[in-house]
Amino acid sequence: MEIRKADFSTVKPAVEEILNRQQSELGIEEQTNYVSFGLHQGERVVGGILAKTSLETAHIALLAVEKEFRGQDWGSKLLQQAEQELRRLGVKSITLTTRSYQAKGFYEKQGYTLFGELGDVPVTGVTKYFFVKRFESFEAQNQTKG
């Protein structure tokens, strides 16, 4: 046996198959869904959000709005639309990352909880922040209030 540099498109399906077999042996069947919404100005896409589900969790991979449209709640509306769709799909928590020059305060205002940070990642002078939002806790809080 040997380790060799290989093409991503060759190794990825093989590794995914190994991981899927491991999960199947434990009785865990994963169904992946992709959720995406675009913010359109006519035919031009000026923002959007992309998320991927894994079991009961989703990860928001990308969320961005063109600079000229920021401060008009479009980011919040995109996030709320994606959250609504993810909840419909049975997602109970959402994770995401952001960087110190991006939108840490924005995600905090949207109810996301900071659970980790790495200084000088992905480059010296920048901090990467890790967030989670759990829907079950919100549902439990609402049940105790009502």
Domain residue spans of the chain:
31-145
CATH 3.40.630.30 fits 31-145, yes or no: yes
Q: How far is CA 139 from CA 6, 93, 142, in A?
A: 46, 12, 5
pLDDT of residue 143: 56
**Minimal CA–CA distance to 60: which of 40, 73, 78, 43?**
78
Instruction: Compute the average pLDDT of residues 108-125.
Output: 98
User: Rounded distance, CA 64 to CA 76, Å?
Assistant: 11
**Whether the predicted model's global pTM rises above the 0.85 cut:** no
Q: Tell me the three state secondary structure of residue 44.
A: strand
Q: Examine the pLDDT at 146 and tell me if it is beyond 70.
A: no
Q: Examine the pLDDT at 134 and tell me if it is beyond 70.
A: yes
pLDDT of residue 131: 98
Q: Is 79 exposed, middle or buried (0-12, 13-18, 19+ CB in 10 A)?
A: buried
Q: Cβ atoms within 10 A of the Cβ of 103, count?
A: 20
